[in-house]
Homo-oligomer: A and B are copies of this chain.
Amino acid sequence: MNNQITRRNLLKLLGVSGVTLPLTGISKELDIKPNKSLQNDGVIKLSSNENPYGPSPKVREAIINAFDEACRYPYGRVAELEKKIAQREGVDPSMVLVTGGSNEGLRATGRLFGVEKKEIIACKPTYLALMTYAEEFDCKINWVPLDENLRYDLNEISRRTSKNTSMVFICNPNNPTGTMLQAKDLEDFCAASAKKTCVFVDEAYYDYSINDGYPTMTKLVKAGHNVIVSRTFSKIYGLAGVRIGYLIANPERIDELKKCTMAGTNILATHAAMTAYDEKSFFNYSLSKNKEALELLYSAFDELGLEYVNSYTNFAFFKTGIHIDKFSEHFKDKGILVGRPFPPYYDWCRISTGKIEDIRRFTDVLKNYYS
């Protein structure tokens, strides 16, 4: 059993390739650097709302420290993480379910409500995973258009809610538009709607909006309302590939949803999340780099006179004026991947934030495109 370990690989451990590590007492303070090698070599990926700065060096270290456990099933560690999240959120651990990305939480919910012979109400465009899964059970989705500000239309959803409604789905801030509802409006809506049906609030981009007065709807879960909240470590924590997220709901609902899940998360992800959850410095770093990137995008849109929406997320939504298929084809040719089509907004584009140099490259190509 021989395995060769190269020095180069050893040094890649913390994304420090090319750096000479001190050979004794290694405690060099490392700056976070954008990842050097990403999946689409040579291609700038601004299509999936990922955070190119993750995982942080500390999180990488946590994963390495967990290697000895990687032969073990993760259930014990998952329970520990659920306890930690519960503590931070001020709920009982029985009200938290850690999942394989928030996607698994969304789909498990789609599974639970999809089999009911009722309908789910959601706006369009939005993040579709829950509804797509529910539709496999021939569940009807009652699609509501966004309002004139590209926000969830709470009044219209309320108007359509009936005893035939099994669930209302809200994504706030909304993907792909980046819009956010007023705190008070959403809270009042959820409290009222939850008396009639279950309300699901997808808070995948919650972390990007915390400075903008968005109150998580977990307070309603705590208050006993029929509400489910989902969160993810894929975005601001930069762990999209690691697959870990969670749901917060009342204990009976969590029990039901747990039976609906299929894969759960993995043990390296639990350690990564444990560390990331406590690492305020990386969180703030990601927040500020995201803001920097958004401002570069806004300034280019302004210069070109392109309509766009103020974003509370790690992406911007702007009006290209031409069909997204044609637009994205052009950018793909230039080595840049942009967001997929979001019907009915075919002449709009979702562009993720990314490394600053990648955003600059995007705005350069954009300016050339419209010149």
CB atoms of A104 and B263 under 8 A apart: yes
A4 CA / B74 CA spacing, docked (Å): 27
> What chain B residues lie within 8 Å of A223 (beta carbons)?
none
Q: A5-B57, A27-B6, A99-B263 are in contact. Are A48 and B67 (CB under 8 A)?
A: no
| Proximity bits, A1-26, B CB within 8 Å = 1, else 0 | 11111110110111100000101111
Q: How many identical subunits does the complex contain?
A: 2
Smallest beta-carbon distance A64→chain B, Å: 5
A32 CA / B242 CA spacing, docked (Å): 26
**Beta-carbon nearest neighbor of A21 in chain B:** B10
Most central of A67, A76, A77, A238 by chain B CB within 10 Å: A67
Query: Is there a chain B Cβ closer than 8 Å to A262's Cβ?
Result: yes
> What chain B residues lie within 8 Å of A73 (beta carbons)?
48, 50, 234, 240-241
A269 CA / B267 CA spacing, docked (Å): 11
A24 CA / B7 CA spacing, docked (Å): 7
Query: Is there a chain B Cβ closer than 8 Å to A178's Cβ?
Result: no
Q: A54-B71, A69-B39 are in contact. Are A61 and B266 (CB under 8 A)?
A: no
Query: Is there a chain B Cβ closer than 8 Å to A239's Cβ?
Result: yes
Smallest beta-carbon distance A104→chain B, Å: 4
Q: Which A residues form the contact surface with B (CB < 8 A)? A: 1-7, 9-10, 12-15, 21, 23-32, 35-40, 45, 48, 50-58, 60-61, 63-65, 67-74, 76-77, 99-101, 103-104, 107-108, 111, 115, 133, 136-137, 234, 238-243, 259-269, 272, 281-282, 285
